[in-house]
A and B are shown apart, each in its own frame.
Chain A
């Protein structure tokens, strides 16, 4: 009997900032082609977890494997090779404001030498069309775009290299409900086209219901519930129920004075 190796596997991942324990022996498996959404309140360590997986932060302890290969302590060269298989949409889009849109979108392809600068403009226009943006956007600067357009360009940049894994950090934060739903739709469509494995972190329940195959809830540095998205309303987990219904009363302390600082 063959066992399927998780695309991404976290075991006992621990991360502290000084005395502040953010990730506490966290375990998480993401299977190939799966879309996992990790939810949790502000300051629960979702972004820290994502940055540890990407190698932007070094975890203090534990194991992070991608395709069964340990990534903690990986050499710079191997890390760069790994990151060429990854796409990432940042919370604030993180577009390079010194570059025009077309160069932002094709940045990964140009830096890998996959395409020439001569062809980059046309390729960027093709990718931008997939996220609903016209060719006229190509020559604009990121500062000339609205928040929703920046998210679309960020998504275009994330999918430009046809990555195996895509990470979404709060993809709909700061957007109006209609634009947020459009972004969610685009994420689902483009991820389906690519057949990519995705990990999304959010506290937007509309995103969760639209994007997720599986949901995990992070609280106090640990995954306290995991399951298929269609079971979140019948989980019987009081933390999850409080979170998805957005109630102030419950086991999750909403007192800002007790929030962890990450």
Chain B
């Protein structure tokens, strides 16, 4: 087969996907802010995404904070500035690791669940049924999920930040010999509001991307059970890649000198 034909077809397919995602995003955003609003469904999604993600986010943050403290202690020990551990831990958690790791964990749980649920609704004609009942699937299915995830993820990340810092605190005070009050003072004294806010802004964007990818791949799934499985995988992979790419872009926008 002609190599140019293969490359050309792949490129056109890529452009078509970009176009489809752009159209889907436009419709999703429009229907998120245009009435009617389904507050009952929004609340159900807030509970599903927020409350049920707390254990996974909390545990991940706790261990990440502890490991981070240990590694920074080793690194700073080489140049004799171990006292910087509290500052670097809180800086790293609030600005980067808190939002990114929590979002990746939520992407694995929530994006997959959304793709599977909406994909199953698609292949079992439930989305068609919604339409014949004069209900817009974007308003009923997509908008509550996107809004709920974008609202809830900053809250989850904030909780994750606190638990992550505490993970570093316990590691440092229990195993690395840091003084408890000195550690907390160093943590608080060098922490700026902008550090926390930037992480929460990232979390809101990541939440939007997680729900968008879950809904997009679920909504466009076809081919029965295999198609739903493919949609679930694609949702998690694309959400994870977009989180990392968006993290770079937001960091550049917020912190480039």
Contacts and interface: CB of A to CB of B under 8 A. Distances in A.
Interface of A: 51, 54-56, 76, 80-81, 83-84, 86-88, 90-92, 94-98, 107-108, 111-112, 157, 167
A54 B134 contact: no
Contact of B129 (A81, A90, A98): A90
B128 A84 contact: no
Given A94-B129, A96-B129, A80 B134 contact: yes
Contacts of B131: 54-56, 83
5 contacts: A54-B132, A80-B136, A90-B128, A95-B126, A108-B134
Contacts of B253: none
B165 to A, nearest CB: 38
Interface of B: 117, 121, 124-126, 128-136
A111 B128 contact: no
Contact of A94 (B117, B128, B135, B136): B128
Contacts of A56: 128, 131-132
Contacts of B135: 107, 111
A76 B136 contact: yes
Given A56-B131, A80-B134, 14 more contacts: A55-B131, A83-B131, A83-B132, A88-B129, A88-B132, A92-B124, A94-B128, A95-B126, A96-B121, A107-B135, A108-B133, A108-B134, A111-B134, A112-B134
Tell me if A's interface is mostly helix, strand, loop or mixed.
mixed
A196 B116 CA distance: 37
A96 B126 contact: yes
Contacts of A90: 125, 128-129
A65 B135 CA distance: 22
B126 A83 contact: no
Nearest to B133: A108
B232 to A, nearest CB: 17
Residue of B129, B130, B132 ringed by the most chain A CB atoms within 10 A? B132
B126 to A, nearest CB: 5
A58 to B, nearest CB: 13
Contacts of B121: 96
Residue of B125, B129, B133, B135 ringed by the most chain A CB atoms within 10 A? B133
Contacts of B133: 83, 107-108, 111, 157
A92 B132 contact: no
A167 B132 CA distance: 10
Contacts of A96: 121, 126, 129-130
A83 B126 CA distance: 15
Contacts of A94: 124-126, 128-129
